[in-house]
Amino acid sequence: MGRLQEKVAIVTGAASGIGLATAKLMASHGAKVVAADINFDGVKKVVEEIRQAGGDAISVSVNALEEESIQEMITIAKVTYRKVDILFNNVGGTKADKDHAIVDLDKETWDFAFRLNLRSIGYGCKHVIPHLIENSGGSIINTASMAGILGDLDSSAYGSVKAGVISLTRYVATQHGKQGIRCNAVAPGLILTPATEAYFTEEVKQRFVRHNVLNRLGKPEDIAQTVLFLASDASSFITGQTIQVDGGSGIHAGTFAEFMEMRDQH
């Protein structure tokens, strides 16, 4: 028996990357999956693959920038499967060509990062919580980022709002724990999704590898396995936490890579 047998799970950003891997993994563990994405053709393909593998899933078009669209997604899940047990708030991103140092950020870049990464998760929580209460509890998992934990030279808006996701996660956990609702977050390091593959050069990716103590970059499946754990009863006494899934890039001193190279040369 799967770890999510007969659970109903909504996964946003399910057309590619982390969302795709998570939707498939949840379905393989018995969940009825509501796969949602603004890329409706992409998410329909994911649902077809889940069904071909023997799983149960439906596709939903969602625009995470709009509250009404998020609310409709959750309503469709409830009407289709009669309940909701799990919400994986995974949609996120930034205007990478404009999101740089604080002094260079314009209003449009700030607003887009806030609306897509933080406000959308807030709306997801707002509209799913009444259904989880009705169901005597459930699990919400939010995608944060190591950018929300560590300072950097770039992606200032993205990192700032991802820090907000971590705080929002604690607030939801605190306010609704007594109603059986758990809320946790995952903070990925650099994960080899289609978006990162397209944006980062091989040289930049290798620089990330140098700072990962596990000596590789992450895969969407690495995050999916963590989300599965947080969605399942195996984590029933865990709430308000942010799990860093970063290959160890966030645990060491900034001189780690340089000293490793010095050691290997002697």
Residue of 204, 206, 203, 215 lying closest to 248 (CA atoms): 215
Examine residue 265 and state whether it is found in any structural domain, yes or no: no
Examine residue 258 and state whether it is found in any structural domain, yes or no: no
Mean pLDDT of 43-50: 98
Examine residue 54 and state whether it is found in any structural domain, yes or no: yes
Q: So which residues are the catalytic ones?
A: 158
Examine residue 18 and state whether it is found in any structural domain, yes or no: yes
CATH, residue 172 = 3.40.50.720
- List strand residue ranges (DSSP E) for the chain, in order: 8-12, 32-37, 56-61, 86-89, 138-143, 181-188, 242-245
Residue 264: pLDDT band with limits 50, 70, 90:
confident
Provide the edge-to-edge strand list for the sheet that holds 181-188.
Answer: 56-61, 32-37, 8-12, 86-89, 138-143, 181-188, 242-245
Q: Which domain holds residue 81?
A: 8-198+217-252
pLDDT 10s digits, 118-150: 999 999 999 999 999 999 999 999 999 999 999
pLDDT in the model for residue 205? 86
pLDDT in the model for residue 252? 86
pLDDT 10s digits, 106-116: 999 999 999 99
pLDDT at 259 > cutoff 70: no
The two tokens of residue 99 are 């999101």
pLDDT in the model for residue 266? 67
pLDDT in the model for residue 87? 99
> What single-letter amino acid sits at 208?
F
pLDDT at 230 > cutoff 70: yes
Residue of 105, 108, 119 lying closest to 66 (CA atoms): 119
Mean pLDDT of 71-95: 98
How many structural domains does the chain have? 1
Examine residue 72 and state whether it is found in any structural domain, yes or no: yes
For 92, phi then psi, to 5°, come to: -175, 175
